[in-house]
Amino acid sequence: MAAPNPGLLAAMLKANRLNGVMRWKVNFTESGFKGETNLAGWNGLWLDTSDVKSLQDFVDFVANQTDNPHLIGRNLVDLVEIIFPAGDSLGSFCIAWSGWQDLTKATPQDAQDIADSLDFACQGITAVVVVCDSAGSFPGISELSQG
């Protein structure tokens, strides 16, 4: 189990060294991740999508997790627009995406479509999605080293 160096994510966020969707082979806990984003002064969202096996499952799960039940049954574009609203109201924003392995196994194209949509949404704003956990591979996204 690879744990992140304490303070490393916070330092990278503060320095604005991260943008888009990145794969980082470390195991965060939700509280550890929230501590890092708080230390950096960023907004953080923890997503553990274990047992999510399709794009619609992902949309519905995140809709529930972010208290947006009106998005259940909607599409990925609608979800991404709510997670990453236009304008400066969002501030600096980091998502830790854990438990993605079931999705990449069941429907690799759905996983890639989600990663691509999240990456596109991060462009032009101060936002990053860290695809974390030491196990598994998520093809098609950049790897981030430990430091």
pLDDT tens sequence for the chain (147 residues): 466 687 999 999 999 888 999 999 999 999 999 999 999 999 999 999 999 999 999 999 999 999 999 999 999 999 999 988 766 666 899 999 999 999 999 999 999 999 999 999 999 889 999 999 999 999 889 898 755
- Domain presence at residue 31: yes
- Domain presence at residue 86: yes
- Domain presence at residue 2: no
Q: Considering the entire predicted model, what is its pTM?
A: 0.92
Residue 47: which CATH number?
3.30.370.10
| Domain count for the chain | 1
- Domain presence at residue 3: no
- Domain presence at residue 115: yes
- Domain presence at residue 109: yes
Is residue 87 packed enough to be buried (19+ CB in 10 Å), middle (13-18) or exposed (0-12)? exposed
- Domain presence at residue 110: yes
The answer to whether residues 142 and 22 touch, using CB atoms and an 8 Å cutoff, is: yes
- Domain presence at residue 142: no
